[in-house]
Amino acid sequence: MAATAAVSGAKRKLRAELKQRLATLSAEERRRQSRLLTQKVIAHSKYQKSKRISIFLSMQDEIETEEIIKDIFQQGKTCFIPRYQFQSNHMDMVKLASPDEISSLPKTSWNIHQPGEDDVREEALSTGGLDLILMPGLGFDNHGNRLGRGRGYYDTYLQRYLQLQGTKPYTIALAFKEQLCHHVPVGEHDVRVDEVLYEDPTAL
């Protein structure tokens, strides 16, 4: 029990630090890194092979995903986006009809567009699953450990996916280089991501 409390405390501290770090990024720098990551995703072999892709609609302090979403449709792939249930940690991945419909979707209290609860849409898990999930997060380390925003939506979704499908999709997290940490504290329910994409200064 004490270990769980220690992990929670360490996560809270790191979340505050990362939010502060992200707040100092200029809009121009966010755009620059987002453009770079868009190119990395589109050139990625896993992305190219995937037919059914889930991707998040970005909040202000996240990598902008708009151009990747456009490319998913241009390549004739199927695009799914998260629909969060705010009263729980339940999330579904529901089908997006086109990039143009995003701006007309209702906004949540987090200021994210998402289809309403009564909007009946194809849901990924019950219609063939997903090949790839492009994930957000607050912080990441080089071992694939991810620090979310504390609600556990993605961890819970991936555990449910594994139970129902017996396997899980490939997961790629999209991050600003400022979101990389030496070590992300994890608990027993945290699910590692397969890969974290970010601007690697050593590769420039």
Helix (H, G, I), strand (E, B) or coil at 177: helix
Instruction: At 89, give phi and psi (nearest 5°).
Output: -105, 25
* DSSP-assigned letter for residue 115: -
User: Any known ligand binding at 12?
Assistant: yes
Domains in the chain and their CATH numbers? Answer: 2-141+150-203 (3.40.50.10420)
pLDDT tens readout for residues 164-191: 999 999 999 999 999 999 999 988 888 8
User: Any known ligand binding at 121?
Assistant: no
Helix (H, G, I), strand (E, B) or coil at 7: helix
Whether this prediction's pTM lies above 0.85 is answered by yes
Kindly state the percentage of the chain with pLDDT values over 70: 97
CA–CA distance, 58 with 102 (Å, rounded to integer): 11
**Residue 86 contacts by C-beta under 8 Å, 6 or more apart in sequence?**
108, 109
User: Any known ligand binding at 19?
Assistant: no
CA–CA distance, 181 with 10 (Å, rounded to integer): 13
Q: How many CA atoms lie within 13 A of 94 on its CB side?
A: 19
User: Any known ligand binding at 13?
Assistant: yes
User: Any known ligand binding at 149?
Assistant: yes
pLDDT at 204: 45
* DSSP-assigned letter for residue 76: T
pLDDT mean across residues, the chain = 93
In this model, does residue 201 exceed pLDDT 90?
no
In this model, does residue 100 exceed pLDDT 80?
yes
User: Any known ligand binding at 160?
Assistant: no
pLDDT at 127: 93
User: Any known ligand binding at 18?
Assistant: no
User: Any known ligand binding at 52?
Assistant: no
Candidates 112, 100, 140, 103; CA nearest to 18 is 140
User: Any known ligand binding at 84?
Assistant: no
User: Any known ligand binding at 30?
Assistant: no
Greater confidence (131 vs 111) lies with 131
Greater confidence (131 vs 86) lies with 131
